Amino acid sequence: MQPNPGKRLTTGLKMGTGVRITQWAAAMAMASALTHVSYAADEDDPVWRDFTQALGQPALIGTNADHALANNTYRPIPAFSQSDLNADKLRLGFDLFHERRLSVDNSVGCNSCHSGMFGGTDGRQVSEGANGVLGKLNAPTTFNAGFNFRQFWDGRAVTLEEQALGPIENELEMAHDLTAVLEILKRDADYPAEFAKVYPDGVSVANMADAIAYFQRVNFTRAGTPFVRHLEGEEGQLSEQALKGWQRFDEVGCSSCHNGINLGGNSYQQMGSMFSYFEEHRAAGPNDIGLMGRSERSNDEHVFKVPTLHGVAETAPYFHNGSVETLELAIEEMGEHQLGRMLSQQDIDDIAAFLRSLGGRPMGGMAMGAAGMGRGMGMSGGMSNGGMQGGGMQGRGMGGGMSGGMSGGMHQEMHGGAGMHAGASNTAASETVTAAATAQDPVVSVANPEQQALHHSAYLTAISNADAAKEKLLTEMRRIQSGEVAHFDFLQFQHLELIRHARALQYPPSDLAADKRAQLTGQAQQLLAAANALEWTISDYLRAEAMSKVMQKQIEQPETGDLEGLIGDATARLEENRNVAAQMLTDMQASPISTLSAELGQMYSSTR
């Protein structure tokens, strides 16, 4: 059931322990006080740093897990205050995002392909990289990218940090070398000081990625669109046509794939899942291989990450290849090949009106206005190619520094996880490594027992989270299957939680004996491999669930147009997809995750 547009909903950002968003700062200050320390650059424990960088922060796709609309098809993106920003990190991220020297010929920066003026894209069918080389796929939007479950069309980057590094060495994009880029930044007159304000260890690949990702999360998040305001209960946000289009969007099955906080960005689906897209429109080429290029599974051919629909009206041309120039044509072709529907022109126009409500508010002053504009190199390097267009923080945009400890902690608490404890400790771990070294903060040496105790505590928490992961994944799969949850966000969130904890567990505390650390690292690597392999189980499960919903719509309201004969037996196809989903549940149950994490816990206990 969709919310009454005239009903004011309660503020949804509520900690699992009952802490509301208005009390968030006080709660985080308490958690930070327990663990927030700074390190002199020459005394920083590199193993602890590696652990915290690998752990990162809970994925934003789990945000608003206890909102009144949490289990509905859609829920709003939360709003934050600019006062919560880390101004130094934001300025550094701004400079790096607009830094053309990241490309081998100094011709392009991140903003060249991801401009706020073009909805976080570049308006091209495919982008032009260093040395004038053309890419193979359409540039995805950076708007709300932090809420996707993965990055790139084939999902090869799990985090925005990984995504930030990918283009630098890609021969079709920046065609540079990370080692050479680091040398450029270290020799620069300003970057070393900028990095030192934020990161105790200064200029590094991980810190560069972190700063760029932070800038993207802050500057490219839209939380004040008409649709989001409508979800928060504000009256008069959607036109009658947009409301009608929203209803039709749901009725024909678009929300089978485009659901969750980002209206997409939470699953892989096949291009032409009802019947082949390529046979009718054009022959498939090597750039259309999709997820199969990573998975090497034949059933992943033409499978791509479902894009977010926030701001979609501004991101033409459409699809992975940029082959469709208008929003209306994209709606028509998706209706035909994904849903088996020949949509009327009225349907298309109404749905387009709804999709336009997912953008529409002009950028209300850059986030840099609050933090102070970035320095000259970042601006001059990218100005002519859209440098100042690199994104605008919406009036109610996201404070990226607040992501840790919020989205994950709340969702875990709701479903019996570590909740506030995990959220706070994970955030503290991340903030320790990214905090600026200031005079009022204590300097902690590698041998400091409090610092060592923190690493051991965080390591034990990561083992505990990994051990509980499989049951949480199974719970979320069953909640989708039963209809309790009408989107895919929380399942993907639990998988991302497992991955980040498994990654961090590869870095056991440095005070352990070398042979024990080697054993723990090897076991953690097995755990991570098993966690990564679940990507395909979850992918197949969500594809089956999405198609089950589409087929159910066909049974309830059969297509009577020219496509009727091409759809086949909808009941049989529904049963087929339900069987696939059931098999994926069985496969998840058989996963060795719990066994591997239990063995890791036993190994760790033997060291104590």
Q: Please give the residue that has the higher pLDDT: either 407 or 472.
A: 472
Entry pTM: 0.84
* Average pLDDT of span 164-171: 96
Q: What long-range pairs does 200-203 form, CB within 8 A, spacing at least 24?
A: 200/38, 200/39, 200/40, 200/41, 200/44, 200/433, 200/435, 200/437, 201/41, 201/44, 201/46, 201/49, 202/41
pLDDT (0 to 100) of residue 125: 94
Please state, in angstroms and rounded to a whole number, the distance separating the CA atoms of residues 446 and 512.
13
Residue 110 predicted with pLDDT over 50: yes
DSSP string, 526-591: HHHHHHHHHHHHHHHHHHHHHHHHHHHHHHHS---STTHHHH--HHHHHHHHHHHHHHHHHHHHT-
Q: 173 catalytic, yes or no?
A: yes
pLDDT at 365 over 80: no
Q: Are residues 103 and 95 in contact, defined by beta-carbon separation less than 8 angstroms?
A: no
Q: What is the pLDDT of residues 462-487, one digit of tens each?
A: 999 999 999 999 999 999 999 999 99
Residue tagged active-site, from 99, 128, 161, 173? 173
Distance of CA 393 to the CA centre of its chain: 18
Collect all residues with Cβ–Cβ distance below 8 Å to 237 and sequence separation of at least 6. 5, 226, 227, 229, 230, 357
Residues 178-213 have pLDDT tens digits of 999 999 999 999 999 999 999 999 999 999 999 999
How far apart CA 401 and CA 87 sit, in angstroms, is: 10
Nearest Cα to Cα of residue 263 among 303, 307, 296, 315? 307
C-alpha 428/C-alpha 405 separation (Å) is 8
Q: If you average pLDDT over every residue of the chain, what do you get?
A: 83
Q: What is the mean pLDDT of residues 506-521?
A: 96
Q: Which pLDDT belongs to residue 566?
A: 85
Give the pLDDT confidence score for residue 45 in this predicted structure. 83
Tell me what percent of the residues of the chain surpass a pLDDT of 70. 78
CB atoms within 10 A of CB 301: 17
Which pLDDT value is given to residue 360?
59
386: nearest Cα among 124, 60, 21, 571:
124
Tokens 């701004």 appear where?
A: 94
Say how far apart CA 556 and CA 522 lie, in whole Å: 52
pLDDT beyond 60 at 442:
no
Say how far apart CA 95 and CA 102 lie, in whole Å. Answer: 11
Domain boundary assignment for the chain: 21-224+365-447, 244-356, 454-607
Banded pLDDT at 450 (limits 50, 70, 90): confident
Please determine, for residue 431, whether its predicted confidence score (pLDDT) is greater than 50: no
CATH topology identical between 21-224+365-447 and 454-607 = no
Check residue 22 and give its pLDDT: 29
**Cα–Cα distance for residue pair 185/545, rounded to 1 Å:** 47
For residue 118, what pLDDT is reported?
87
pLDDT at position 46: 87
Residue 372: its pLDDT value, please?
59
pLDDT at 44: 67
User: For residue 117, what pLDDT band results from cuts at 50, 70 and 90?
Assistant: confident
Q: Which CATH number describes the domain made up of 454-607?
A: 1.20.120
State what percent of residues in the chain have pLDDT above 90. Answer: 70
pLDDT for residue 275: 87
pLDDT at residue 50 tops 80: yes
Range with lowest mean pLDDT among 3-7, 293-297, 541-545, 572-576: 3-7
Please state, as a whole number, how many other Cβ atoms lie within 10 Å of the Cβ of residue 31: 21
Does the pLDDT value for residue 265 go beyond 50?
A: yes
H/E stretch holding 462 reads helix 449-482
Which residue in the block uniquely carries the two structure tokens 């920066």?
A: 109
Say which DSSP state 115 is in. B
457 pLDDT tier (thresholds 50, 70, 90):
very high
Hey, what amino acid is at 88? Answer: D
Average pLDDT estimate for 550-574: 91
Per the CB < 8 A criterion, the answer to whether 146 and 160 are in contact is yes
pLDDT band (50, 70, 90) for residue 405? very low
pLDDT at 375: 63
Q: Band the pLDDT of 272: cuts 50, 70, 90.
A: very high
**DSSP one-letter string for 282-295:** ----GGG-BTHHHH
- Nearest C-alpha neighbor of 223 from the set 328, 278, 143: 143
Q: 21-224+365-447 architecture in CATH?
A: Orthogonal Bundle (1.10)
pLDDT of residue 308: 97
What's the pLDDT band for 448 if we cut at 50, 70, 90?
low
Query: For residue 371, what pLDDT band results from cuts at 50, 70 and 90?
Result: low
pLDDT of residue 283: 84
In the predicted model, what is the mean pLDDT of residues 331-351? 97
**Quick one: pLDDT at residue 170?**
96
- Calculate mean pLDDT across residues 51-75: 96
Q: Say whether domain 244-356 belongs to CATH 3.30.1120.130.
A: no
**369, pLDDT greater than 80:** no
Give the Å distances, CA to CA, from 182 to 39, 101, 185, 186, 207. Answer: 22, 10, 5, 6, 11
* DSSP three-state, residue 303: strand
d(CA 392, CA 366): 4
